[in-house]
Amino acid sequence: MTVAPQFQFKDGILHAEDLSLTQLADTYGTPLYVYSRQALHDAWLAYQQAARGRDVLVCYGMKANSNLAVLNEFRQLGSGFDIVSGGELARVLAIGGDPSRIVFSGVGKQVWEMKAALDAGVKCFNVESEAELQRLSDVAVEVGKVAPVSLRVNPDVDAHTHPYISTGLKENKFGIDIEKAPEAYQLATKLPGLQIVGLDCHIGSQITEVAPYLDALDKLIVLIKALAEQGVKLKHLDLGGGIGIRYTDETPLSPTDLLDRVFETLAENKLDHLQIVLEPGRSLVGNAGVLLTTVQYLKHNDSKNFAIVDAAMNDLIRPTLYDAWHSVEAVKPRSTNAATPLYDVVGPICESGDWLARDRKLALESGDRLAIMSAGAYAFTMSSHYNTRPRAAEIMVDGDQAHVVRPRETLESLFQDESILP
């Protein structure tokens, strides 16, 4: 089973920490997102131990899971935040997050978002184009503030991951071509209302080896030295996020594996004075959550067996979007044998792409509960109301206590703000 150790079988029933998932499903219904508080803390501790007193700022990439309870756990642990929208900024401020520990990423920042971030006093804007530099300069001058900037460069490095979550190649929309970065930095030095503070790079997501990071770092070091010759001094180097987790048989890269090599390389180049900023998302929350669902019907035909459940692609879109694998565990499993059928686990949505898992050997009956594992990242945050389906509740488990951190939506809430013509 490929999850955090806080999800284990006890007396034949899958638990989240000290609570039975059967009990949680009975109490709160399904579909249901269940998170482990201890798993969040343990994932954070791995980064804290990897830093070992060195100047490292971990900014949680909150697009992975932006529930306020999750954000507040990381705030209390000392995390900064990597945001990509004005809405995410509002969430961080709502839980009392420190704006000076916020980095604002994203290719399409709007004027109102820039103004909100300047008013809050974020650590820096990760700027992704010369057009954005010009707009940010105009906005900063208009509001009478100085915008700290870090240019996100695209190093043309293959992260060896799914093309939809690869961001460091020339054909990707993200960042400034590293070969054109010196010109962009010179533009930034001339524009009013801007202060250069760093250099940013993010090459992709679900990365399981250190080599792509080191390939990117080699190119960044060449750029840093070239900028220094032009009089551009940097305070920090942002290496982004992207460390992967184990969904099936991956061997994840640890934060220590990455940071030890990064600091070794920087020391060799006399650049270890730079603060390192990291933006992990999935690796902090991915294995800390599961999606609980109930089998509604079993359907058999000549070529396929289907377990039709009450969760759907609107609850977890990763399988149909990325062809992503999520382990599926029966909450109260029965024994299997050679005759046990393979099931496609599918939802009730009217799309052929509405599937959560394919060809899984499961001994099932209608009414059984299943846990879709590793659903702490990019599950609820990518959920939708497709087919007018209320989004599921989110539960945080702390030992033997369950806390509703977001209630299940009601049908009426889905259209209460809509109106019809007179």
Q: Which of 59, 124, 201, 350 is catalytic?
A: 350
How far is residue 12 from each of residues 8, 105, 322, measured CA to CA in Å? 9, 45, 32
Give the C-alpha separation, 289 to 292, whole Å.
10
Please name the residues in contact with 151: beta carbons below 8 A apart, sequence gap of 6 or more: 126, 127, 128, 133, 176, 181, 184, 185, 188, 196, 199, 200
Buried b (16+ CB within 10 A) or exposed e, 253-283: bbbeebbeebbebbeeeebeebebbbbbbbb
Give the C-alpha separation, 399 to 44, whole Å.
18
Give the C-alpha separation, 104 to 81, whole Å.
8
Which SS3 state, helix, strand or coil, does residue 157 take?
coil
The alpha-helical segments, DSSP class H, found in 242-350 are 255-268, 282-285, 318-322
- Please provide the DSSP assignment of 41-95 as one string: HHHHHHHHHHHTTSSEEEEEEGGG---HHHHHHHHHHT-EEEE-SHHHHHHHHHT
The Cα angle at residue 72 between residues 71 and 76, in degrees rounded to 5: 120
Which SS3 state, helix, strand or coil, does residue 397 take?
strand
Question: Tell me, what DSSP letter sits at residue 351?
Answer: S
Give the C-alpha separation, 196 to 151, whole Å.
8
Q: For residues 75 and 45, is the Cβ–Cβ distance under 8 A?
A: no
Active site residue 201: no
In 119-226, DSSP assigns E strands to: 124-127, 147-154, 176-177, 194-200
Which SS3 state, helix, strand or coil, does residue 214 take?
helix
- Angle between the 86-94 and 68-77 helix axes, to the nearest 10 degrees? 60
User: Which residue, chain included where needed, has tokens 């971990």?
Assistant: 58
The torsion defined by the Cα of 81, 87, 89 and 95, in degrees rounded to 10, comes to: -80
Give the C-alpha separation, 357 to 327, whole Å.
8
Which SS3 state, helix, strand or coil, does residue 150 take?
strand
Residues identified as active-site: 350
